[in-house]
């Protein structure tokens, strides 16, 4: 993820630890924090819910009810308002700074989007969309990566309509974050929820049958929904189509299996449910930014 040349020309580097450059608009404020010195136990808090995204470098995060964890480029974290962050910077130095984006979004904006979601795309199990009151740590998918990159540009742009542009991007960002959170909740609790939640039932079935051919038609029958209704409900609540989800889970499994340098790639892609080597290679490279062979070679002695 790249910051604009304009950012580097205009920002003032006054502190070696968590130097802050801020841009404020109607419904959000974007802060870029830069650290050029190793530091421990740096405290940070915002009055509004925050999307934090790592740009470069490494942080170690200490949050309530959660073990300390590495926060790395390509990852994001959703924090509720008033959440206290305690941060270590184990590797930061002048040549290897840590840069992180923190975007504070007004609760009024978030609640407005949630109201629209509950009116237009209600959940199939009767529950309501709601903003998470805990820390949601995730790897950016292509859609969220693209939105954050666009917001980095918009906040630093001198354009009379940038408030309008940012507002539209924030709406999409909130929807995609809520869908991602819904997906993670269903994945982590699939067996517990599968009796009463049809999507959880489908996710549990996918997890245990990745090695087999899977179709939308087959899955819709398993959960007693029409094919079109299942497809629509799955995409609205999880943010991806059933096939996109299946392929993503298969690639996750392939990543695990490829860590064994003695396994043959053909053996692995068949075990993950792929019938076609070129299709597997294409999806793997898109997700991992390396071919299966290149990735597996990292684990060769």
Task: Identify whether residues 232 and 252 lie together within a single domain.
Answer: no
Q: What is the DSSP letter of 291?
A: -
Torsional class of 252: left (φ above 0), alpha (ψ -120 to 50), beta (otherwise)? alpha
Task: Identify whether residues 40 and 91 lie together within a single domain.
Answer: yes
CATH at 283: 1.10.10.60
Contact 296, 265 (CB under 8 A): yes
**Residue reference for tokens 């029409």:** 226
Question: 217: which residues sit within 8 A by CB, 6+ positions away?
Answer: 227
Q: Is 85 exposed, middle or buried (0-12, 13-18, 19+ CB in 10 A)?
A: buried
pLDDT score of 1 more than 80: no
Is 10 a domain residue?
yes
Task: Identify whether residues 252 and 229 lie together within a single domain.
Answer: no
pLDDT higher at 42 or 195 = 42
Query: Which pLDDT score is estimated for 41?
Result: 95
How many domains are contained in the chain? 3
Identify the domain containing residue 203 by its residue range.
Answer: 189-239
% of the chain residues with pLDDT over 70 = 100
* pLDDT grade for 2, boundaries at 50, 70 and 90: confident
Task: Identify whether residues 119 and 13 lie together within a single domain.
Answer: yes
C-alpha distances in Å from residue 92, one per residue of 18, 89, 98, 164: 11, 6, 6, 36
Distance CA 156, CA 149 (A): 11
Q: How many residues in total does the chain contain?
A: 301
The residues with which 23 forms a beta bridge, in sequence order, are 30
Task: Identify whether residues 250 and 231 lie together within a single domain.
Answer: no
pLDDT score of 65 more than 80: no
Task: Identify whether residues 224 and 113 lie together within a single domain.
Answer: no
Distance CA 79, CA 229 (A): 33
Task: Identify whether residues 206 and 108 lie together within a single domain.
Answer: no
């Amino acid at each position: 993820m790249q910051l604009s040349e304009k950012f580097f020309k205009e920002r003032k580097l006054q502190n070696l630890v968590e130097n802050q450059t801020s841009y404020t608009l109607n419904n959000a404020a974007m802060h870029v924090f830069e650290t050029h010195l190793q530091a421990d136990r740096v405290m940070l808090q915002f009055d509004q819910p925050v999307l934090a995204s790592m740009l470069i470098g490494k942080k170690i995060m200490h949050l309530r009810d959660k073990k300390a964890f590495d926060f790395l480029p390509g990852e994001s974290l959703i924090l509720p308002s008033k959440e206290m962050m305690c941060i270590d910077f184990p590797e930061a130095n002048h040549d290897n700074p840590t840069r992180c984006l923190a975007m504070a979004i007004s609760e009024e904006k978030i609640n407005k989007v949630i109201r629209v979601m509950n009116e237009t795309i209600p959940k199939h199990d009767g529950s309501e969309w709601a903003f998470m009151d805990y820390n949601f740590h995730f790897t950016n998918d292509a859609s969220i990566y693209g939105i954050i990159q666009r917001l980095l540009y918009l906040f630093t742009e001198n354009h009379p309509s940038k408030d309008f542009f940012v507002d539209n991007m924030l709406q999409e960002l909130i929807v995609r974050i809520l869908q991602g959170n819904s997906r993670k909740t269903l994945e982590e609790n699939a067996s517990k929820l599968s009796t009463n939640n049809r999507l959880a039932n489908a996710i549990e079935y996918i997890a245990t049958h990745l090695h087999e051919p899977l179709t939308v038609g087959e899955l819709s029958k398993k959960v007693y929904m029409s094919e079109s209704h299942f497809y629509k409900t799955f995409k609205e609540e999880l943010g991806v189509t059933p096939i996109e989800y299946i392929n993503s889970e298969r690639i996750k499994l392939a990543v695990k299996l490829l860590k064994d340098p003695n396994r043959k790639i053909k053996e692995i892609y068949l075990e993950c449910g792929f019938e076609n080597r070129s299709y597997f290679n294409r999806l793997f490279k898109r997700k991992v930014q390396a071919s299966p062979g290149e990735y597996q070679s990292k684990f060769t002695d």
